[in-house]
Each structure stands twice: as C-alpha cells, then as structure tokens.
C-alpha cells in the first residue's frame, strides 16, 4: 500500500473540508443516506434472537437492500422479486445463511448466501454486503465494485485483485485493508467504513461534492 498517497489524500480532503465529516456540506450529504436510521433498522432486524423467525429475517433482508441508498436502483426490484419468488424452505435457507455470515462461520455463511443469490443471478457484491455494512459500520465493509477497484488501484495495494465474482477471500482482505487505512488517518474522525471510503473517493476526485 502506498501510505504517502493516503497521507496526500488526507491533506487534500482536510484542505477542502477542515472540519472533516463535521463540515456542513458533508453533514448534509451524509444525512441523505440516513446512516443512523439504517443502522438502527439493521440492529433491530438482524439481532441474533430475531433469527428464531427466519421468514421475518428474510423479509427484512429485502427491506434493507431496497431501502439502501448504496444499492443500485436497478438491482433493488430484481432482488426483491427473486427473494419473494423463493419457497418457504428456500427463504429459511437465506436467513440461516445470513445468521452464519453475521454470527457464525463467516466464510461458510458468505458462500451459502452467495450460492442462493447466484441461483437467481443476483450474486452481487452490494447485495451480499449490505446487511453487514449497516449492522457493524465501523468494522465491516460495503463492497461497491467501482469504489473498490479505484481504491486498490490508486493506493497501489498489492496482493489482492478485485473479482467481479463475489468471494469471501476478497471480502475479508478488502475489509482488512479499509480498516488498516482508517487506522492510519489521524487528521479527522470517522467511524463508518462507508463514510471512510467516501472520503477516499472525494480525495481521489472520483466523487464530486457540489
């Protein structure tokens, strides 16, 4: 990783937004994404005790994906329709996979959920990572393909290559990278990894705040 570029990104960002994420412009942008509301929904919907009611969990999976500003508007109706088309047994499997991904063997849970979504041609990075991104925003990551590719390329991160086909290895490594980068940025405070990747995109000129 090129830490000099990360330091430069921090400088560029703070030159433009001296108050970091407390800058009025960024506060307004973040508000539009309703992070607190979405996190509260995730915490209420995907608490471990809720998995006693798998069909409700599956219904809430549809709700969080279709309510998220981070998920493509083109993916939302297709995802909703696919999950709704599953029979009861298959919906239970969706919930069981999510439970394992959130609270058990992460890799197995990821792989099971990935396979279920793949059956409906819905195995998208965004749909696989949206629940975790809201449930544990300071640790887990939302994988948006364009953002991930730009970050890996710009900061010259070696040993990991973006794959359009979702896999747990990339998810885990990308999460480690984002958390390491966040730990090395000292000029402003941001807990959310989604907001942190937003900072990186702004600093790289990939996202215009106007």
Cα angle: 146, vertex 149, 154; to 5 degrees: 120
Asked if the model's pLDDT at residue 166 lies above 70, the reply is: yes
What is the reported pLDDT for 206? 54
CA 67 to chain CA centroid, Å, is 14
Q: Do residues 149 and 182 share a domain?
A: yes
Residue 29 confidence (pLDDT): 83
Return the DSSP state at 205.
Answer: T
Q: How far apart are CA 209 and CA 198, in angstroms?
A: 10
- Does 175 lie in the same domain as 101? no
pLDDT tens-digit series, residues 28-80: 888 888 989 999 999 999 999 999 999 999 999 999 999 999 999 999 999 99
180 within a domain of the structure (yes/no): yes
State the residue range of the domain holding 147. Answer: 3-32+139-203
Domain finish residue from 81, 104, 135 = 135
Query: Residue 181's pLDDT is what?
Result: 95
Q: Mean pLDDT score of the chain, rounded to an integer?
A: 93
81 and 143 share one domain = no
Q: What is the pLDDT of residue 10?
A: 92
Q: What percent of the chain has pLDDT over 70?
A: 98
Q: Could you tell me the pTM of the whole model?
A: 0.91
Q: Is residue 209 part of a domain?
A: no
- Report how many domains make up the chain: 2
Three-state DSSP at 57 gives: helix
- Residue 144 has φ and ψ, to the nearest 5°, of -105, 120
Q: How far is it, in rounded angstroms, from Cα 164 to Cα 45?
A: 29
């Amino acid at each position: 990783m090129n830490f000099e570029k990360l330091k430069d990104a921090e400088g560029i960002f703070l030159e433009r937004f001296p108050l970091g994420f407390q800058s009025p412009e960024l506060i307004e942008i973040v508000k539009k994404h309703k992070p607190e509301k979405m996190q509260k929904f995730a915490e209420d919907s995907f608490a471990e005790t809720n998995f006693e009611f798998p069909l409700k969990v599956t219904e809430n999976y549809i709700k969080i994906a279709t309510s998220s500003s981070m998920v493509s508007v083109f993916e939302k109706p297709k995802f909703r329709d696919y999950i709704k088309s599953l029979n009861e047994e298959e919906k239970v499997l969706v919930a069981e996979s999510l439970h394992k991904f959130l609270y058990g063997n992460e890799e197995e849970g990821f792989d099971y959920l990935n396979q279920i979504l793949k059956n409906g041609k819905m195995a998208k990075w965004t749909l696989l990572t949206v629940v975790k991104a809201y449930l544990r925003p300071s640790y887990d990551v939302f994988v948006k393909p364009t953002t991930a590719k730009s970050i890996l390329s710009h900061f010259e991160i070696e040993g990991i290559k973006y794959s359009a086909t979702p896999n747990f290895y990339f998810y885990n490594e990308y999460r480690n990278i984002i958390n390491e980068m966040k730990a090395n940025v000292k000029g402003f405070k941001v807990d959310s990894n989604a907001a942190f990747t937003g900072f990186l995109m702004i600093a790289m000129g990939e996202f215009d705040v106007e």
